[in-house]
């Protein structure tokens, strides 16, 4: 396989096995040269210790919310990742055996530079940032998640997209053996997501490789996933193996599967209901799991347009009818 | 003790307690804080699923009675029906109180604009009518009308599965399993009817 570096791509450059293995252990050490395994018992036992490398050299970000993050347990045991099953606990249950290394990402389409890259090379040129973001699921629940990642725009710029690149398409790994949920045809595989180039170049989206200062757990999309905080969670595709610059709007998975319920844009919008439920309010996960009485005091909260990120992204949709383009 | 009393004094209380087990399990999970990250959804799903299971159990009474020849099984139908009503009612109350948070406008909007809720409400309304008329005295007073009303349990079964089917996001495996069970139960009745009409014609 030809593995290129994003910085200077020569087709002749082939990674030797040694360098490759080196990189691998480097990744397992958690992208950090030190490779310290966290004394992370403070967090949880949900993810086995040997999969929990601490990340270092993480910068803070002005885009982080000051709201208190959800617990590591909530974030790692309650989410959707249909590649591992359709229940909310399935990703946690059925992703434990998943081995996300080695991992390559194929960049293709309308850009000056394209090719296959080791995850490590992909990430290395960038400084890791912690982004504490609100996450709003289309199912009307939400969390606060302390992601660690790299700005998507910085990554994409390196490939020098052409003027014809109007959209960026992402694809998740297809591997029935390792992703048991793919044995069911509940969605069409691979999972496909996409953004307009303007959305992708906004400073908010990141490619996340970590959570709570550690490597990203399998159930949350290891080793690398997208996070687009002003859109419903299903836009934030996990386990990315392909990125493609394209002039045509990607046919995304949920839109393909139920076009009257899920759109390409999928911006969080309290004014536009899902056909089967209202999006006006949301339940913040976690605030109700502190025992009996807290269940009854866990009231819902108002959903904010663009999930509260309107200041950064509303201008992207000037003149667009958000009711039609839901 | 004779046969009748054995059923009345031993089996009935035993089944009654058994029917409360799903409720007890949920209470235990609440107390142990074992409902996962979204306890309200977990509670609502638990009661909805048990409501549906009790409806199906009730529909299974007649086929079981016919197949085993044990007439006393029919004496559990009312209890199963009232438990179906109980679990669905809690399912509904959780929705009203913890999900919709008693906001009248939201509640009305959902009932009229979300088909899966509309269907659930129809099923619940029928269950309420049946629960209110479930005593022997009312049954005698209503005569034929009572039977007609209580035959709508078949309809409730269909509505309940339909409601489940429509509320899932994508994976219809579980509602499909319930739909198959329901079809077998309803199919058996249709077959019985066809058999009796055949024998009637023959005689
Ligand atoms: C015969 C009556 C009913 C039965 C048997 C029933 C049963 C069920 C079942 C089995 C589920 C799926 C649970 C799961 O996902 O595991 C469900 C979901 C649901 N039901 Fe019902 N239901 C009934 C009536 C109602 C009524 C009257 C309402 C409200 C007006 C209602 C509101 C809901 C809602 C909101 C959900 C989705 C909960 C979620 O988000 O998981 N149901 N119901």
**Per-residue pLDDT tens digits for A39-98:** 333 344 567 777 788 999 999 999 999 999 999 999 999 999 999 999 999 999 999 999
A108, part of any domain: yes
pLDDT in tens, A168-224: 999 999 999 999 999 988 899 999 999 999 999 999 999 999 999 999 999 999 999
pTM higher than 0.95 for the full model?
no
pLDDT in tens, A232-251: 999 999 999 999 999 999 99
What does the domain layout of chain B look like in residue ranges? 3-202
A141 — contact with chain B (CB < 8 Å)?
A: yes
Residue from the list A281, A286, A292 with its beta carbon closest to the beta carbon of B30: A292
Of A110, A73, A64, the C-alpha closest to A92 is: A73
Q: Is position A3 within any domain?
A: no
Mutate to test the pocket of ligand 1, among B80, B120, B156 (most ligand atoms within 8 A of CB): B120
> Which single residue is written with the structure tokens 């302390």?
A146
Predicted confidence (pLDDT) per residue in A86-133, tens digit: 999 999 999 999 999 999 999 999 999 999 999 999 999 999 999 999
Write out chain A residues lying below 8 Å of B30, CB-based.
292, 295
The distance of A29 to chain B (nearest Cα, Å) reads 29
- Can you give the CATH number for the domain in which A198 is found? 3.90.420.10
C-alpha of residue B52 to centroid of ligand 1, in Å: 9
Q: Which of A274, A278, A280, A286 to mutate to test the interface with B (most CBs of B within 10 A)?
A: A278
A185 contact residues in B (CB cutoff 8 A): none
pLDDT band at A32 (very low <50, low <70, confident <90, very high): very low
CA distance A109 to A127: 26
Tell me if A77 sits within 8 A of A232, measured CB to CB: no
By alpha-carbon position, which residue is closest to atom 42 of ligand 1? B120
Is A279 within a domain?
yes
pLDDT in tens, A257-312: 999 999 999 999 999 999 888 899 999 998 655 666 677 777 789 999 999 999 99
Distance B111 CA to ligand 1 centre (A): 12
Coil, helix or strand for B54? helix
Please check the confidence at residue B179 and state whether its pLDDT lies above 80: yes
For B131-158, the pLDDT digits (tens) are 999 999 999 999 999 999 999 999 999 9
A277/B contact by beta carbon, under 8 A: yes
Domain of residue A181, residue span = 13-317
Whether A322 is covered by a domain: the verdict is: no
User: Each residue of B43-100: pLDDT tens digit?
Assistant: 999 999 999 999 999 999 999 999 998 888 988 999 999 999 999 999 999 999 998 8
Complex prediction ipTM:
0.78
Q: Is residue A4 part of a domain?
A: no
Indicate whether A311 belongs to any domain. yes
């Amino acid at each position: 396989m030809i593995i290129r570096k994003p910085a200077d791509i020569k087709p002749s450059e082939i990674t030797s096995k040694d360098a490759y293995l080196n990189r691998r252990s480097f990744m397992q050490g958690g992208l950090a040269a030190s490779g310290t395994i966290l004394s992370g018992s403070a967090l949880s036992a949900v993810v086995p210790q040997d999969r929990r490398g601490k990340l270092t050299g993480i910068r803070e970000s002005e885009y982080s919310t000051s709201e208190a993050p959800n617990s590591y347990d909530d974030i790692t045991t309650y989410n959707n990742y249909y590649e591992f099953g359709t229940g909310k606990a399935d990703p946690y249950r059925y992703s434990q055996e998943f081995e996300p290394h080695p991992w390559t990402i194929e960049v293709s389409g309308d850009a000056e530079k394209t090719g296959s890259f080791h995850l490590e090379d992909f990430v290395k040129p960038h400084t890791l940032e912690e982004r504490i973001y609100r996450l709003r699921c289309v199912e009307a629940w939400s969390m606060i998640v302390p992601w660690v990642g790299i700005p998507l725009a910085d990554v994409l710029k390196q490939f020098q997209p052409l003027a014809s690149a109007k959209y960026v398409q992402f694809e998740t790994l297809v591997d029935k053996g390792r992703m048991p949920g793919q044995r069911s045809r509940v969605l069409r595989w691979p999972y496909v997501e996409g953004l307009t180039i303007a959305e992708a170049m906004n400073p908010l989206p990141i490619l996340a490789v970590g959570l709570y200062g550690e490597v990203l757990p399998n159930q949350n999309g290891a080793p690398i996933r997208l996070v687009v905080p002003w859109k419903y969670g299903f836009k934030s595709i996990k386990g990315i193996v392909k990125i493609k610059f394209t002039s045509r709007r990607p046919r995304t998975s949920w839109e393909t599967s139920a076009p009257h319920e899920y759109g390409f844009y999928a911006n969080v919008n309290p004014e536009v209901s899902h056909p089967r439920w209202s999006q006006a309010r949301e339940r913040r996960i976690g605030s109700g799991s502190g025992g009996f009485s807290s269940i009854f005091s866990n009231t819902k909260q108002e959903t904010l347009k663009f999930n509260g990120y309107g200041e950064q992204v509303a201008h992207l949709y000037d003149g667009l009818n958000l009711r039609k383009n839901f | 003790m004779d046969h009748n009393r054995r059923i009345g004094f031993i089996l009935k209380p035993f089944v009654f307690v058994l029917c409360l087990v799903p409720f007890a399990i949920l209470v235990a999970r609440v107390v142990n804080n074992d409902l996962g990250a979204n306890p309200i959804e977990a509670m609502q799903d638990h009661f909805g699923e048990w409501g549906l299971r009790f409806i199906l159990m009730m529909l299974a009474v007649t086929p079981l009675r016919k197949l085993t020849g044990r007439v006393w099984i029919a004496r559990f139908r009312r209890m199963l029906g009232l438990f179906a009503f109980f679990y669905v009612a809690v399912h509904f109350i959780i929705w009203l109180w913890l999900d919709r948070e008693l906001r009248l406008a939201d509640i009305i909007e959902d009932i009229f604009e979300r088909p899966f809720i509309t269907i659930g409400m129809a099923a619940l309304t029928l269950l309420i009518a049946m629960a209110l008329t479930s005593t022997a005295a009312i049954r005698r007073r209503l005569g034929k009308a009572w039977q007609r009303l209580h035959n709508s349990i078949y309809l409730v079964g269909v509505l309940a599965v339909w409601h489940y089917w429509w509320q899932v996001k994508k994976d219809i495996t579980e509602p499909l399993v319930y739909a198959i069970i329901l079809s077998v139960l309803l199919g058996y009745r249709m077959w019985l009817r066809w058999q009796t009409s055949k024998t009637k014609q023959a005689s």
